[in-house]
């Protein structure tokens, strides 16, 4: 689907698609439960978590991803019981507190697909299937034990891996939820960058403007938005917003912020610069344009069955001439691709799976496959978990066996990015490497990270059999 086509793609309300989504999950989960040797599955939505033992406030509640896969209900102490041949049953603990308002109501299309029951605080065990082998999916093993489920049936690895694989393939309902979440995020990004381009604003002002335009607060957003001016973009998760506007003649802005729709999240990162006056600022502006072009080129190359490693390696091949032509490095393209990138220019993983949580877990582990022993050190340090092989260091040994690759029906964020920062000298000066960074690269340290996440192509129609990448900018 081309960006032009995506702009005119009909918007289907997720509520219309929800019954087919539940029917699909019923079939898929029933097969997974049976193959794992169980008769039923209890999915725990989660419990409210206190912020401190010395206070009476809870953290904002986020339902467990397996629960959110079925229904958009952000309510603590709720369980979904899935059995083959029966309608899903939603068990909700009776809430009598006047301290908290009930969660936002869900549509009638949800209740029409589920059987529901309100239960007392200690009645969960009596409501579960009796005389059947039941598995429990949840974050707290103690809650499972209180319901009479033995520890060996809590999050059984084979079943969890199968359910993660089901979540990786999106239904039409899920794709529409993610697209709507992206549309909301795009409106916020456009307003923020518009305000940045015409006036000096503080990071806090820009952050609050984003929340206003997207109609959410910090608790409702999928994550706390990153709004970073200048050097602040070099901090991966900069959320300590400056209260005063920057008065620099040349300013760069990175915004990494998303939105939600029925529990599904968007994750969009964009970068801009204003007040260009030659030198490193002009190089950075050119780099932004070229990386966005590279991103679209990489997305067009995606095909079902294509190894993630190949796509990630191709992004390095496309990026090398950009760095060389902008005089940011002094090395041939082959040298740049064949060796670790120059120290100040850090690469980031190319793709992530979006969903009811911002990212799905490591899909190679879910498929029961070996995980490569060596990943890129920077990606290890930032705690990013992706499917095996995606983050292979250019110098790491290639995979010994084939792994599952891009499949039709998957969604991923297209996110090439480069990070520019100075390294700590640790008390001594290091000699520059051959082929190392040149002055342009050092000058870019003042602009931090260049982000391009989320700007991809919209889901292709099933007949096309292409893998798809979220394209929030083409769906407004």
Q: What is the pLDDT of residues 283-326, one digit of tens each?
A: 999 999 999 999 899 889 888 888 877 888 888 889 999 999 99
- Residue 140, CA atoms < 13 Å, CB-side half-sphere: 15
What's the confidence (pLDDT) of residue 413?
59
Estimate to the nearest angstrom the gap between the alpha carbon of 150 and the chain centroid: 33
84 vs 410, residue with greater confidence = 84
CA-based nearest residue to 149, from 31, 41, 49: 41
CA-based nearest residue to 264, from 4, 9, 2, 17: 17
Architecture of domain 172-474: Alpha-Beta Complex (3.90)
* Beta bridge partners of residue 468, listed in sequence order: 411
Task: Name the strands in the sheet holding 40-44, side by side, starting at the edge strand that comes first in the sequence.
Answer: 115-119, 89-93, 78-83, 40-44, 134-137
Which residues, in sequence order, are CB contacts of 150 under 8 Å at separation 6+?
none
CATH number of 37-155: 3.40.350.10
Q: Which of 72-76, 87-91, 400-404 has the lowest mean pLDDT?
A: 400-404
pLDDT in tens, 172-231: 999 999 999 999 999 999 999 999 999 999 999 999 999 999 999 998 999 999 999 999
Which one of 34-48, 426-440, 446-460 scores highest in mean pLDDT? 34-48
Mean pLDDT of the chain: 76
| Phi, psi of 64, rounded to the nearest 5 degrees | -60, 145
Under DSSP, is residue 410 helix (H, G, I), strand (E, B) or coil? strand
Q: Delimit the domains of the chain by residue range.
A: 37-155, 172-474
| pLDDT of residue 458 exceeding 60 | no
Rounded distance between C-alpha atoms, residue 44 and residue 66, angstroms: 8
205 vs 341, residue with greater confidence = 205
What's the confidence (pLDDT) of residue 203?
97
Which residues, in sequence order, are CB contacts of 115 under 8 Å at separation 6+?
87, 88, 89, 90
Q: Which of 187-191, 444-448, 465-469 has the lowest mean pLDDT?
A: 465-469
What's the confidence (pLDDT) of residue 93?
87
What's the confidence (pLDDT) of residue 474?
30
Under DSSP, is residue 457 helix (H, G, I), strand (E, B) or coil? coil
CA-based nearest residue to 165, from 363, 347, 365, 391: 363
In angstroms and rounded to an integer, the radius of gyration of the C-alpha atoms of the chain is: 24
419 touches 445 (CB < 8 A):
no
């Amino acid at each position: 689907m081309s960006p032009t086509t995506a702009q005119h793609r009909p918007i289907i309300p997720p509520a219309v698609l929800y019954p087919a989504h539940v029917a699909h999950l019923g079939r898929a989960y029933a097969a997974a439960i049976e193959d794992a040797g169980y008769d039923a599955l209890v999915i725990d939505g989660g419990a409210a978590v206190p912020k401190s033992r010395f206070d009476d406030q809870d953290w904002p509640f986020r339902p467990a991803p397996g629960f959110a896969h079925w229904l958009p209900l952000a309510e603590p102490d709720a369980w979904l019981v899935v059995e083959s041949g029966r309608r899903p049953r939603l068990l909700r603990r009776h809430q009598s507190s006047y301290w908290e308002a009930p969660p936002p109501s869900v549509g009638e299309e949800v209740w029409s697909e589920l059987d529901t029951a309100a239960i007392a605080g200690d009645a969960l065990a009596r409501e579960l299937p009796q005389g059947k082998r039941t598995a429990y999916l949840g974050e707290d093993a103690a809650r499972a034990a209180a319901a009479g489920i033995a520890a060996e049936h809590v999050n059984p690895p084979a079943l969890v891996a199968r359910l993660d694989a089901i979540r990786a393939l999106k239904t039409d309902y899920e794709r529409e939820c993610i697209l709507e979440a992206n549309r909301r995020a795009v409106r916020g990004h456009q307003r923020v960058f518009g305000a940045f381009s015409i006036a000096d604003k503080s990071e806090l002002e820009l952050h609050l403007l984003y929340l206003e335009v997207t109609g959410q607060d910090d608790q409702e957003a999928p994550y706390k938005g990153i709004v970073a001016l200048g050097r602040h973009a070099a901090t991966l998760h900069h959320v300590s917003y400056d209260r005063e506007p920057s008065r620099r003649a040349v300013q760069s802005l990175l915004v990494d912020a998303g939105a939600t729709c029925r529990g599904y999240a968007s994750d969009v990162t964009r970068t801009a610069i204003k007040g260009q006056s030659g030198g490193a600022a002009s190089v950075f502006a050119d780099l932004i344009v070229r990386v966005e072009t590279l991103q679209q080129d990489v997305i067009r190359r995606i095909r079902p069955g294509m190894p993630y490693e190949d796509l990630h390696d191709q992004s390095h091949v496309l990026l090398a001439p950009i760095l060389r032509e902008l005089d940011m490095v002094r090395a041939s393209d082959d040298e740049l691709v064949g060796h670790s990138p120059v120290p100040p220019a850090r690469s980031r993983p190319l793709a992530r799976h979006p969903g009811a949580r911002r990212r799905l877990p490591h899909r190679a582990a879910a498929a029961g496959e070996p995980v490569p022993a060596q990943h890129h050190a920077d990606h290890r340090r930032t705690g990013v978990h992706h499917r095996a092989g995606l983050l292979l260091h250019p110098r790491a040994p290639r995979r010994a066996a084939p792994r599952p690759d891009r499949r039709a029906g998957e969604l991923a964020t297209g996110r090439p990015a480069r990070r520019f920062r100075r390294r700590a000298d640790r008390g001594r000066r290091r000699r520059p490497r051959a082929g190392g960074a040149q002055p342009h690269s050092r000058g870019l340290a003042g602009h931090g990270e260049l982000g391009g996440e989320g700007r991809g192509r919209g889901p292709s129609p099933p007949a096309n059999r292409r893998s798809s990448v979220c394209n929030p900018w083409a769906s407004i």
